[in-house]
Amino acid sequence: MASLPREGYEDLRRRLRILWLRAQRARVGRELFHAEAELGWLGWEQVEFYDDEVQAQVAKIQEFESTQASLQNTTAELSGQKGALAEQLARETSAHDQAEAALAAEREPIASRQAEAEAAHRLKSEAIGRFDRAVEEIDGLEQRLEAQSREYMRVENPTMAIRAEARAVSDEIGRIGLERKLVLADKARVVSEVAALEAEMGRIEADLQRIDEAAAAARETLEASTRRVGEETRQLESETQKSNLQTAHLDREKQKPYRFIGACLADHGIFPRNQPQVLEKVFTLRERDFQLAETIASLRAECARVKPGILIVFYLLVLAVLFVLWAVIFHAR
């Protein structure tokens, strides 16, 4: 039992080291994969031992290259279509802006005429109201004078003063009648001018409505074009994204035959024409991977030599200690 803590601790340390070394080996494996793939990419045309398997890998690479070239053409075509849509929308937007500016320029003087006509109509309507009030005042005054004239006429033996006053009242009635005619004539003239203004205002309103309807129709047309171009652009972007994803997938898949060929080149010690240091990198990583594998195997062998009963008791004690610590911390919280 005296060796239980020590052997259990050593086993735990070895197992943790195995985990660490496996992580290291996984990283080295990834680096080795990319290094062999790079070696295959740089020297795949130098393969001098074209057996069936190597030829199959070369055929895969050529197939990937052909597919990627087709995808690149598709992407370029989609990009051209997107550019054409953008240019079309730009032309339509420019035409809309020009038409809108022309309509605004046409509308501005008409709107000014409308404002002037409305102001004149308001003033003349006020003048008609004043004429109506003046006629009412004249009618009231005339009625009072006629009543006064009738009073004078009922006098049987009027004096000279009464006759003079009656004559003055009669003259005033005549003057007031003439004044009414003048006021009514002025009112008729203003009413005629108001009618002409209202007709002009109707024509102005029709012109403004025509311009506003044309502007609204132009806006609706541009909005419809914008929506259509937006939908088509989104479809093209979706297709472009699919093409890019397929290209990226092929890039990843292409690493496998490159890696196979690179491994063959490394097995035969063939340097690429450019960057010969890549082969040395492959050798270094292979050596590192081999050392890690040997170390892991050695540690596993040491772990296998420990008696299972000792390990079971040790790890049960470890679990018990961890459970007690968890309970203390949970209770403290």
How many Cβ atoms from other residues are within 10 Å of residue 158's Cβ? Answer: 14
Alpha-carbon gap, residue 185 to 187, rounded angstroms: 5
Res. 2: pLDDT tops 60 = no
What's residue 4's pLDDT?
A: 58
Among 60, 47, 35, 34, residue whose Cα is nearest residue 257: 60
* Pair of tokens at residue 61: 């690479």
pLDDT tens-digit series, residues 281-331: 999 999 999 999 999 999 888 877 766 666 666 667 777 777 777 877 777
User: In the structure, what pLDDT confidence band is assigned to residue 1 with cuts at 50, 70 and 90?
Assistant: very low
How many Cβ atoms from other residues are within 10 Å of residue 64's Cβ? Answer: 20
Alpha-carbon gap, residue 176 to 169, rounded angstroms: 10
How many Cβ atoms from other residues are within 10 Å of residue 117's Cβ? Answer: 19
What's residue 260's pLDDT?
A: 85
* Pair of tokens at residue 66: 């052909």
User: In the structure, what pLDDT confidence band is assigned to residue 205 with cuts at 50, 70 and 90?
Assistant: very high
Query: What's the distance, CA 70 to chain centroid?
Result: 31
Alpha-carbon gap, residue 257 to 265, rounded angstroms: 12
At 64 the three-state DSSP class reads helix
Alpha-carbon gap, residue 272 to 278, rounded angstroms: 8
Distances (CA, A) of 97 to 12, 84, 94, 215, 264: 77, 20, 5, 10, 66
Among 236, 66, 96, residue whose Cα is nearest residue 58: 66
What's residue 311's pLDDT?
A: 62
DSSP assignment of 3-27: THHHHHHHHHHHHHHHHHHHHHHHH
CB-count exposure of residue 40 (10 Å: 0-12, 13-18, 19+): buried
- Contact present, 262 and 38 (Cβ < 8 Å): yes
- Contact present, 296 and 69 (Cβ < 8 Å): no
CA Rg value for the chain: 53
* Pair of tokens at residue 235: 């479809």
What's residue 315's pLDDT?
A: 65
Percent of the chain at pLDDT exceeding 70: 92
* Pair of tokens at residue 312: 């079971």
Q: Report the 3 state secondary structure along 122-181.
A: HHHHHHHHHHHHHHHHHHHHHHHHHHHHHHHHCCCCCCHHHHHHHHHHHHHHHHHHHHHH
pLDDT tens-digit series, residues 268-280: 887 777 788 888 9
What contacts 40, CB < 8 A, 6 or more positions away? 257, 258, 259, 260, 261, 262, 263, 264, 265
pLDDT tens-digit series, residues 42-57: 876 666 556 677 777 7
Q: What is the mean pLDDT of residues 84-90?
A: 89
Average pLDDT, the chain: 84
pLDDT tens-digit series, residues 112-164: 998 999 999 999 899 889 988 988 988 888 888 888 888 878 877 778 887 88
